[in-house]
Amino acid sequence: MSWSEIDEAALPDEERAPDAVPASANTLFIGDSGELPLDTRRALVQLLAGPSLDGYRHPKLWPILIRDEVPIRRRLAELFLELVIDRDMQVAFTRQADTGELEVPTLLRRAQLTFIDSILLLHLRQRLTQADSRGDRAVVSTDEIMEFLNLYERASNTDRAGFVKRIHASIEKIKKHSILQKIRSSEDRFEISPTLKLLFSAEEIQALTHLYQRMAADETPAPVTRTESDDEEADP
């Protein structure tokens, strides 16, 4: 290991580490007018593609994000997006920026929830809180979800199989949005993504409760028509 004994300061400038040489423009391909280095762009794309950039699953991109938080935040702001970073949980994602009165186009997807979806979401959120208070990771199985959602089966329901099918569809939908993540090597056990805490906050839970209460009091308008932002079926 003779090289480690060479005194770096004694070397002429050209022979020092390459990063001491001023970086030329980050031109990565023909016609590239971007400014960010390759890794930073990768992190940016991961954030845009979503649902999150996380330290466990993207161990290479996470430090880049922390290093280049400022330029990444700036790029996202151009798209009316806000960067949320939770350093304890090692997870980052984008959120539609609060633009107040200003009307801006939205780039992020939204999931229109059915009644059963919303119940499933509440259950998952609760399991997450429970696991949190014990200091564990939150894991659920299909059976357990079934058992819980059965409570919400209409008393007069005669189509039991149909209800079960709907729950499965709901689980699939939640999985598609990466809120439930399959655990390696087990068929029907899932980890509840900790990002759900941030996506489905206390305020959101209250909003949902109010909606239920208005529905119970028959104050809601006729069934919602599907909109552009609805992701189901629209996905390829």
Three-state secondary structure call for residue 48: helix
Residue 62 engages another protein in binding (rule: CB under 8 A):
no
Residue 85 engages another protein in binding (rule: CB under 8 A):
no
Among 1, 17, 70, 216, binds another protein (CB under 8 A): 216
Residues in region 111-170 near another protein by CB under 8 A: 111-119, 121-123, 125-126, 129, 132-137, 139, 151-156, 163, 166
- Output 64 or 119, the one with its CB closest to another protein: 119
Distance CA 107, CA 156 (A): 42
CA dihedral sign of residues 10, 16, 21, 23: negative
* Structure-token pair, residue 71: 């330029």
- Output 12 or 221, the one with its CB closest to another protein: 221
Half-sphere exposure of 198 (CA within 13 A, CB side): 18
Compute how many other C-beta atoms are within 10 angstroms of the C-beta atom of residue 122. 15
Residue 205 engages another protein in binding (rule: CB under 8 A):
yes
* Contact criterion met (CB below 8 Å) for 149 and 93: no
Q: How far is the CB of 38 from another protein (least distance, A)?
A: 20
Residue 220 engages another protein in binding (rule: CB under 8 A):
yes
- Mask: binding to another protein, 20-59, rule CB under 8 A, as x and -? ----------------------------xxxxx---x---
Three-state secondary structure call for residue 216: helix
- Output 11 or 104, the one with its CB closest to another protein: 104
Query: Which residue, 153, 154, 148, 195, is CA-closest to 174?
Result: 195
